[in-house]
Structure 1
Amino acid sequence: MKHLNWSKVNGNVLSNSMWQDVHKDLLESPPKSINFSQIEELFCQASKAPPQKTEKKKSTEITLLDPKRSLNVNIFMKQFKQSHTEVAALIRDCKSLDIGTERLRGFLRILPEDEEVNMIRDFNDDVEKLGSAERFYLELVKVPHYQVRLQGMIQMEEVKPAVEELKPQISMILKVSDQILSNESIRDFFAYILTLGNFINMGSYAGNALGFRLNTVSKLWETRGNRPGLTLMHYVVQTVQDEELEILDFTKTLGDLSKVARLSVDGLTGEVTALRGDHTRLCKSLENAPDDVNEHFKDFIATSDGLLKDLEQSLKEVERSRVKLAQYFCEDESKFKVEECIGIFNTLCQKVADATKDNEARKKREERKRRMEAERKRVEEERAKAEAAGVTLRKKGAPLPPPSDSGGCVIDRLLADIRKGDFKLRKNPAPPIQTVTG
């Protein structure tokens, strides 16, 4: 039965209460109109069927790998539309073009560790129960020396493009280095700056210098003159142009150095070193690889070795140029860097171009100022002449006719003024009309 939730009266307080009389009445005449069967039917407690436990479907898939590892492998393998067996076959047959460079690199991030390989190989249960990542590893470990095959394919896809990118960069550094060493106008420019600097520093501790460091070049545009916007660089450029000297011809010979100045010899050396390291590790791995693997990579190994030797030889030439430049400019060989030297000349060429533009703009401003000053003097002279001749000027500051018209006809000048609107005509009042009276 359901429950009627009420608060019961304490039995200790029933005496002398209504409930004492109620109980007496119930004992003498209990109520007869209550249909207990109906009440039981209507208010019985519905028995709840015990909830049926829905058993979760137990996964029959067996996972041996770490969940994160398994997830990474599954995500990577979604790039392939082939089955695990077909992907393993691509690796076995060394079909790097079908796999692609990016995906080859991706394989290196998901290759199984030694303990994972042992765990996969020791699995003796139903293979179909294995998870997707585990099934791929099972197919992969069946490929003999799959690590060597992947390393070889990666190098086959990356070495040649890397060499094609590095070779021109090293060549540009060598070319600019040779141009700096052999350019006569650079020597003439440095001789000119040395003479100019010794004159400016005359009588000071910095005077009578026999030479100066490369970083002194920046002082040309940092040394300001007594005129606004004028630096020693502006003066040198202007003097060279006025005297028609050839000491700045190197700015045209060297050309645009901005691209070369961004290169780093240390960075290029590091890339070549990394390529050589990968090549060496591949050669060592191939020593214990099957014959089919060695046969597949034999030609590539010989070709890449020749390409890398060529790059290494070019870097040796860069080092020889570095030493020559350091000695040429009397710099410390242990600290001197080719890219810093090229960067200095790149900035110098840009500053020469900037100074040339500034000088041209200044010359135009000064020329305009001279013209305005000459015009002002001419106007003042014309006004003085007109006042001396007794001519009354119309308005102060109004432009006078050109000197060539000064001896012209007065009537012509008046008519010209009227056409321009500078002259107002005054109308005479009309005479009064006379009326005739009869």
Structure 2
Amino acid sequence: MLLKEEFASNMSYLEPSINSMIVAGEDLMTNKRFQEVLYMVICAGNFLNFGGYAGKAAGVKLSSLQKLTDIRANKPGMNLIHYVALQAEKNRKDLLKFPEEMSVLEEATKTTVEQLQNEINALDSRFKVVRKQIELPNTEQDIKNQMIEFLKVAERQVGGLQNDIAELESMRKTLADFFCEDVNTFKLEECFRIVHNFCMKFKLAVAENERRKVQEEQALVRRRQREEQLAMKKKLLTNDQHINGADVESNLVDSILYDIRSGFPHKKSFDKGKRPHNATIVTSEEDNISVPGSPAVIRRRLGVVDNPNKEDNLSPDVTPNGSLRRRRSRVPSEEDDVTLMDFLRTSNQDATPPVSNIQRKSWGSLDRSWARR
């Protein structure tokens, strides 16, 4: 009775699994879009391997489909599957839909042919055991009648599963020949798993290409906006410079026009640093102070210009050693001597202490020249 209860659940699992594997195998051999994508993969591989022993391949192994993601492009986050998806989008956009047409592959990858075969063989063995038990003489007739009817239906269904397994074996050999694989080592479940992963990666590559395209468009828009902003800023700076230059020129023109209207101011007749010929310079008392009893150098700093038509009368320099040095611009020497002698006489009369002989000797040539006079 337990077998009768478990049989329904076993059949609900075995039948869909076998059927999905059969349908998946048929899709691989009949789906033209999938085959076109594989052809594009072969072309891309031949282009990359140009000049080598693999540069003229006529097909691609299923195991090679797993390595397509390892072939990276110079653009970040892009590999050979992305390139194939881009080419398919440019040339034949309908090829991008082939993963949706092979959705049964996901179900086919959940089990293996060996696992299905073992479960079917286990059911068949249990059926044989039950049949032997109901043939025993001590088995109730009512139970025999129920189990005999069940065994007939179950054995017929299990026989159908056995036929499906045989069909799967035939499908395995056909697919091995279709993909140019070794029949002895080729496995359906491995084939379905590889193709299913390829479909998922291809579908993901299509989505990433679309997202990258949107990002590139947004980046292009931002770059154009930055360029426009920089151009606008440069234009504003140029306009400001022109406006400032025009303001300066306008102010200069206005200033010139104002001077013309108001009349140019008269320039000074002489510079501040120059003295007019008829100017009278007043000497201070400190300039006329003489130091009595000392041969200090007494210089007449400033004088009175009596006549502007005559040369300036300036006092000569008296050096401490008594030598009289005349300047080139001075008056004749005779007038200098007379003026000096008069100044010295006046100084001697005003001095309080008398001049000693020792001090007089220190004057030297000045005293002798006075004596000669």
Q: Match of 1:314?
A: 164
CA contact (8 A) 2:73 2:80 kept: yes
Shift of residue 331, structure 1, vs aligned partner? 0.8
- Determine helix, strand or coil for the equivalent of 1:208: coil
Tell me the equivalent position of 1:350: 200
Alignment partner of 1:383 is 2:233 = yes
Matched, 1:259 2:101: no
The answer on whether the counterparts of 1:174 and 1:321 sit within 8 Å (CA) in structure 2 is yes
Deviation sequence 1:77-102 (CA, Å, 0-9, x none): xxxxxxxxxxxxxxxxxxxxxxxxxx
The answer as to whether partners of 1:326 and 1:333 remain within 8 angstroms in 2 is yes
- Once residues 186 and 97 of structure 2 are traced to their aligned partners in structure 1, the CA distance between those partners, rounded to angstroms, is 25
Alpha-carbon distance between aligned partners in 1 of 2:25 and 2:78, rounded to the nearest angstrom = 32
Hey, what does 1:374 align to over in structure 2? 224
1:208 corresponds to which of 43, 53, 56:
56
* Deviation (angstroms), 1:391: 5.7
Give the alignment of 1:263-412 within 5 angstroms: 263-290=111-138, 292=141, 293-390=143-240
Q: Partners in 2 of 1:256 and 1:304 — Cα distance?
A: 27
Question: How far did residue 169 of structure 1 move?
Answer: 1.4
Residue pairs, 1:158-173, within 5 angstroms: 158-173=6-21
User: Would you say the 8 A contact 2:20–2:104 is kept in 1?
Assistant: no
Corresponding residue for residue 154 of structure 1:
2
Partner Cα separation in structure 1 for residue 109 and residue 5 of structure 2:
29
Identity value in percent: 27
Report the alpha carbon displacement of residue 196 of structure 1 after superposing the two structures with TM: 1.5
Per-residue deviation, 1:282: 2.0
Native 8 Å contact 2:109 2:192 kept in 1: yes
Matched ranges for 1:136-155 at <5 A: 153-155=1-3
- State how far apart, in whole Å, the 2-side matches of 1:384 and 1:163 are: 79
Point out where structure 2 has 5 or more consecutive residues left out of the alignment: 244-373
**1:92-140 deviation digits (Å, cap 9, x = unpaired):** xxxxxxxxxxxxxxxxxxxxxxxxxxxxxxxxxxxxxxxxxxxxxxxxx
Match of 1:186 in 2: 34
Q: How many angstroms does 1:245 deviate by?
A: 4.1
DSSP 3-state at the match of 2:156: helix
Q: 1:174 aligns with which of 11, 19, 22?
A: 22
Cα gap change, 1:237 to 1:161, in 2 (>3 Å): same
Q: Which amino acid aligns with 1:179?
A: D
Picking from 237, 250, 255, the partner of 2:98 is 250
Matched residue SS, 1:211: coil
The verdict on how the C-alpha distance between 1:322 and 1:248 changes in structure 2, with shifts beyond 3 A counting, is: farther
Aligned partners of 1:351, 1:392: CA distance in 2, in Å? 60
SS in 2 for 1:227: coil
Letter matched to residue 189 of structure 2: E
Q: 2:61, 2:181 within 8 Å by CA — same for their partners in 1? A: yes
Letter in 2 for 1:159: F
Q: Is the 8 A contact 1:256 1:346 kept in 2?
A: no
Contact kept, 8 Å, 2:23 with 2:104, in 1: the verdict is no
1:224 Cα deviation from its structure 2 partner: 0.5
Measured in 1, the distance between the counterparts of 2:137 and 2:197 equals 54
1:290 positional shift: 3.3
- C-alpha distance after superposition, 1:230-258 (max 9, x if no partner): 10111111221122344444212112633
1:195 and 2:43 matched: yes
Deviation at 1:378, TM superposition (A): 0.9
Distance 2:240 2:104 in 1: 67
TM-score, normalising length: structure 2: 0.61
Contact 2:42 2:60 in 1 (8 A): yes
- Please tell me the residue identity of whatever aligns with 2:58: L
* Distance (Å, rounded) in 1 between the aligned partners of 2:20 and 2:41: 28
Other structure's SS at 1:257 match? helix
Counterpart Cα distance in 1 of 2:213 and 2:106: 29
> Aligned pairs, how many?
241
Would you say the 8 A contact 2:24–2:104 is kept in 1?
no
The TM-score, its normalising length taken from structure 1, stands at: 0.52
The CA distance in 2 between the partners of 1:244 and 1:305, in whole Å, is 50
AA of the residue aligned to 2:216: E
Kindly provide the amino acid, as one letter, of the partner of residue 236 in structure 2. A
Deviation at 1:342, TM superposition (A): 1.1
Give the letter for the 1:311 counterpart: L
Query: Is the contact between residue 224 and residue 231 of structure 1 (CA under 8 Å) also seen in structure 2?
Result: yes
The alpha carbon displacement at 1:269 in A equals: 0.9
